[in-house]
A and B are shown apart, each in its own frame.
Chain A
């Protein structure tokens, strides 16, 4: 199972990668939106996790989502928001934008892993 994680925060990227490889998935890390788009074009993906605040980069996670949505390759691929924006209303806001699921930071890994396992079983 191929997962793309878009995250500009180095530590968060490292630990997510470690966490997800721990359950036997392939994780590609993109620190910038451009790199994320490039990977999405080149590599078949089963799931995309997107951080919203991408720091100094040209796009934030929401804009990146819109780009992904336009890509034929990704039409049936779930895209989750993984973000530290966790004020009341934030979850609804991101789901309305088109994310398939929302995970606030600090990430509840039990739920994340469960969700990923669900997707994996469907794939098989």
Chain B
């Protein structure tokens, strides 16, 4: 059921609401009589008067904005405008605007009483560097008070939006602040935060922002907020923190002294500590500023004075300066820093400078040193050094490359940079020997460079090139030592491999020549006999002589055959593992057979030739051919290298092994050659002149064969006294 026109006209006139109808130009089309109060009822209300005419100045542009932006889909709610009225002053209306058929229907209520409070706040905000703001989550409109604009040094006519308000905060905190908005509108959470802003004019300020949600039917319909410029306070707190730090530093044993500089009088009063620190006369309490200036290092005076003046000129009461001061009247200057506070008289002229003079000599010198060293280090790192440490003269680590620090942290659980550590306490054990000596040499001003080998924690061999470089201060004294360790393992391995390969090649070449030469000699010698005998046989007619010659011929042929046998064995050396035939044999029997084979040879040299068998008659599962060849070679060798005395062959056994010993009283083998004799083709005299016949592969063959059988050959010898060869073969393979 709708109202009739009459009913409506009654209602509109009897209501407490202000009702105005405007066209899109903001001109008044109609209004109820309640509006007379704001439309100056004393004057005739002219239709099509612009409504702005009746709004207080500071609200005019905002009203216009409402008219300009309203659309049918976008009604504008809760806008508050002030209208001047006499004699009360200002009436504040809270208006709602709706657009329909190109006409704007504005309805409002008088909120003057509530608004007085708000106005008062505004006034206060002007005085206290604070501002008020509100936010409508429904249409996402943002409202800033003048105070806010002032804090942001922004033209108050700039339309404010949420994004614009955010843009003053540092980029990395915007997301966080947007989250606050989310929380307050969705979860009804108030918030307060302090953040830096960069104003429209580019200056930096600290603001404290507070926000509180306004609820309507359990929903946040509005957010009221304030913001305050707390830059001064913030700086003050920072300054406090800084002073606290200074105080702490002072407590940590840094020398400092207080002074009070009366600026108009140019007199410096100073504390007892300061007197002692820089050696001022103890009986006086002050000196003229000029006197004090004389203490400053000539190179620092100009700059220090400049800093001093600009400190005094600036509006900032915090004073900072630094310079070197003569120390106790000697040619010795130390670094000092001055932290102070300036007080002003009522004309804003600086009156007093109260300061703390702090001895930062060690700190500054270290800083300087580190700066220089850092450069050096960087160069070193770029040059490919793996581990680099900068040590002071006590051997403590001042700096180190990341890798070294990581290793030390891991292995010793200390951070060598955070906590002064002696390098020797955090280095691998096998560094220590070389370190102590080299470090001392470096302290004497000499560089040390060497390569050394060590075993790493995981058992591999590492080659390091270590370098200790002394670093001198301006006076030429060693102030620190740069220690670097370059892992040259790979290079070293390659180097060694090349060397080894080269040696092997040389050896191989030598061996080849030796083999050829040996075989040639060994073949030619019996061949000489054979050919000569053949020649003699052709001429010889005497039967007895012919018989003798034929015997000699067969002897020569045996020797030739032995050489040729060796030659074919040589070829078999690499493939013997493939045809081992295992049978259980009687060791006594096998050794007897070998013994008998060389009886003739031994007797022809007039040697005593003995065999001692094992009474236990040990048996052995083995390859009898391999064993026979091995024993034969050794016996043959023993006879060959023995001029007089005896050859003794002995079989023994215990529950695990069989032992076959061949002992001679021959020329023996030098200790240094004992290992080499089992190498193929090595004879002790090779390289000098080859004194002994034989192809020189017998022993190496014997060793290979016995090893195939799971056994071992040992040789013990005394040069000139004889040699013991002992074959040990386990009973079970």
Q: Given the interface contacts A84-B524, A104-B524, does A15 sit within 8 Å of B529 by beta carbon? A: yes
Q: Decide if A107 is an interface residue (CB 8 Å cutoff).
A: yes
30 contacts between A and B (CB under 8 A): A11-B529, A11-B552, A12-B528, A15-B529, A15-B532, A15-B533, A19-B532, A19-B535, A22-B536, A52-B689, A53-B521, A53-B689, A53-B690, A53-B691, A55-B691, A55-B692, A55-B693, A56-B641, A56-B667, A57-B691, A84-B522, A84-B525, A85-B517, A85-B521, A106-B527, A106-B528, A106-B530, A107-B528, A107-B532, A109-B535
From A22, A53, A55, A84, name the one whose CB has the most chain B CB atoms within 10 angstroms. A84
Contact of A87 among B520, B555, B641 (CB under 8 A): B520
Contact of B693 among A14, A53, A60, A86 (CB under 8 A): A53
Complex Cα distance A7/B516, Å? 23
Distance (whole angstroms) from the CB of A84 to the closest CB of chain B:
4
Inter-chain contact B532/A87, CB cutoff 8 Å: no
Taking CB atoms, residues of chain B closer than 8 Å to A105 are: 524-525, 527-528
Taking CB atoms, residues of chain A closer than 8 Å to B690 are: 53
Complex Cα distance A85/B552, Å? 22
The bracket for how many chain A residues form the interface is 20 to 34
Q: Which residue of B lies closest to A84 (CB)?
A: B524
**A97-124 contacts to B (CB < 8 Å):** 104-107, 109
Q: Decide if B643 is an interface residue (CB 8 Å cutoff).
A: yes
Instruction: Fill in one digit per residue for A52-67: 1 if any B CB lies within 8 Å of its CB, else 0.
Output: 1111110010100000
Contact of A109 among B522, B532, B549 (CB under 8 A): B532
Distance (whole angstroms) from the CB of B496 to the closest CB of chain A:
33
Taking CB atoms, residues of chain B closer than 8 Å to A87 are: 513, 516-517, 520
Number of residues from B at the complex interface, CB < 8 A: 31
The 8 closest A-B pairs by CB, nearest first: A105-B528, A84-B524, A15-B532, A11-B529, A106-B531, A106-B528, A84-B521, A84-B525
Q: Which residue of B lies closest to A82 (CB)?
A: B528
Taking CB atoms, residues of chain A closer than 8 Å to B533 are: 11, 15
Q: Decide if B484 is an interface residue (CB 8 Å cutoff).
A: no
Taking CB atoms, residues of chain B closer than 8 Å to A60 are: 689, 691
Complex Cα distance A109/B538, Å? 14
Q: Given the interface contacts A9-B529, A19-B535, A22-B539, does A106 sit within 8 Å of B524 by beta carbon? A: yes
Q: Decide if B556 is an interface residue (CB 8 Å cutoff).
A: yes
Interface residues of A (CB under 8 A from B): 9, 11-12, 14-16, 18-19, 22, 52-57, 60, 62, 84-87, 104-107, 109
Distance (whole angstroms) from the CB of B347 to the closest CB of chain A:
113
Taking CB atoms, residues of chain A closer than 8 Å to B539 are: 22
Q: Which residue of B lies closest to A56 (CB)?
A: B643
From A11, A60, A105, name the one whose CB has the most chain B CB atoms within 10 angstroms. A11
Inter-chain contact B524/A11, CB cutoff 8 Å: no
Taking CB atoms, residues of chain A closer than 8 Å to B535 are: 19, 109
Q: Which residue of A lies closest to B522 (CB)?
A: A84
Complex Cα distance A106/B690, Å? 19
Inter-chain contact B692/A56, CB cutoff 8 Å: yes
Distance (whole angstroms) from the CB of A76 to the closest CB of chain B:
27
Distance (whole angstroms) from the CB of A99 to the closest CB of chain B:
15
From B528, B531, B643, B693, name the one whose CB has the most chain A CB atoms within 10 angstroms. B528
Complex Cα distance A53/B527, Å? 15
Taking CB atoms, residues of chain A closer than 8 Å to B552 are: 11, 14-15
Q: Which residue of A lies closest to B553 (CB)?
A: A11
Complex Cα distance A85/B643, Å? 23
Distance (whole angstroms) from the CB of B200 to the closest CB of chain A:
101
Taking CB atoms, residues of chain A closer than 8 Å to B524 are: 84, 86, 104-106
Q: Which residue of A lies closest to B529 (CB)?
A: A11
Given A11-B526, A11-B552, A12-B529, 17 other A-B residues pairs in contact with their CB atoms under 8 A: A9-B529, A14-B552, A15-B529, A15-B549, A53-B693, A55-B691, A55-B693, A56-B641, A84-B528, A85-B520, A86-B521, A87-B513, A87-B516, A105-B524, A106-B530, A107-B528, A109-B535
